[in-house]
Chain A
């Protein structure tokens, strides 16, 4: 749903005050970057002013603040609000100072929340598309990724049109990773029955090695509750996939996240010092899962559901040739495929030998 937009494309904004949570420079950058999200896909140009009334007045406040007809509610709950284009409060965006504003994934990322509120300031209502920036609930997405979904773009372009000098006049779509990009690295890789799933940021590729078919999807298309930038994933012996990010993990069966997840990785038997998992693979022949963290690995018995004693061990001791941190690993037809940076190694767990080094994107028919 969109409301009448601004009748001009040159808009001004003013940062009225600052949050003590972040440096002024970080706040300035977050606000500027958040406005750029919208100017990238529309003819809009945003200019900062330091005095007087701007079209978009940006301020931090708590509970009842100034003459604003809405109030904030302390930590969590409502994070910010904004008003549609117009005079007075029109176009203004307010941020709840009782929240923890940050530039990263901790607390609430000011850039992401500001980009959402500026969508309202330009005339957009909330979207019920969970992948959209204009979805009402906060969801962290790596700021390096383009946060607008096709839904956001079509909404704002229905008000202002597209960016006049966009090269091919098509509505700008979120940049999705290029499959054969030589710089492409993967966050995690897992099998799922006969297919292999490669994860990167918000996207995943489904590869069918038998007929070399490749499909690119958004992770949220299958599992809306999963975060982006998953760090490790593996298929266990019960037709389930486990996804890891930070100290949390989710168990997925089909399309469902099993109830009670995410759980803390300490419930698997990791010591408190382990903060995240780099990669994991379940050896279907032994029913044992290897978790790789830095230059070490732990072994988990899927049958007894417990971590084996005598771990961690150094990875290179049991996987000769695999010297570096493991970015991702999966098993296919008995062999393990280890990924680090731009390299991939095919490893035979029976003879404990690296068979060959292959190009990282060998699975994609590049």
Chain B
């Protein structure tokens, strides 16, 4: 589901979400992949994955509970994929 900008309160939140998902929920490229990956995950799909991981309501939208969770101090290792 595409995430529409009106779901962000402000630019800061938007950047927080993008940074967070890129840092911890970006699926690392498959080393054996020969060409471009045509169906990169959308922000909403990564958001849903993050919400599922933390036991939040899986909405695919950056609701206040999700933003709150993203602001908590944490480890820098990704939550998905092979964190190597």
Contact = CB atoms under 8 A, between A and B. Distances in A.
Interface of A: 3, 70, 72, 76-84, 86, 90, 96, 99, 108, 113, 116-117, 120, 125-126, 128, 130, 136-138
Contacts of A120: 75, 77, 83
A84 B83 contact: yes
B82 interface: yes
A93 B78 CA distance: 14
B83 A77 contact: no
B73 A76 contact: yes
Nearest to B54: A128
B75 A126 contact: yes
Interface in B24-61: 24, 53-55
A79 B72 CA distance: 10
Contacts of B53: 126, 128
A23 B8 CA distance: 43
Q: Provide the main secondary structure of the chain A interface.
A: loop
A79 B55 contact: no
A77 to B, nearest CB: 7
30 contacts: A3-B83, A3-B84, A72-B76, A76-B73, A77-B73, A78-B76, A79-B75, A79-B76, A80-B75, A80-B76, A81-B75, A81-B76, A81-B77, A84-B83, A84-B84, A90-B84, A99-B73, A116-B75, A120-B75, A120-B83, A126-B53, A126-B79, A128-B54, A130-B55, A136-B24, A136-B74, A136-B75, A136-B79, A137-B73, A138-B75
B73 A86 contact: no
A78 B55 contact: no
Contacts of B77: 81-82, 120, 125-126, 136
B68 to A, nearest CB: 11
Contacts, number: 67
B84 A138 contact: no
Contacts of B55: 128, 130
Given A128-B55, A130-B55, A79 B83 contact: no
Interface residues on B, range: 10 to 19
A155 to B, nearest CB: 14
**Cβ-closest 8 pairs across A and B:** A81-B76, A78-B76, A138-B73, A137-B72, A137-B74, A136-B74, A126-B79, A128-B53
A359 B15 CA distance: 58
B23 to A, nearest CB: 8
A277 to B, nearest CB: 26
Nearest to B24: A136
Interface string B58-72: 000000000001001
Contact of B75 (A3, A84, A117): A117
Nearest to B72: A137
A96 B74 CA distance: 11
Contacts of A99: 73
Contacts of A70: 76
A130 B54 CA distance: 8
Contacts of A80: 75-76
Nearest to A130: B55
Nearest to B16: A77
A86 to B, nearest CB: 7
Given A82-B75, A125-B79, A128-B79, 9 more contacts: A113-B75, A126-B53, A126-B79, A128-B53, A130-B55, A136-B74, A136-B75, A137-B69, A137-B73
Contacts of A136: 24, 74-75, 77, 79
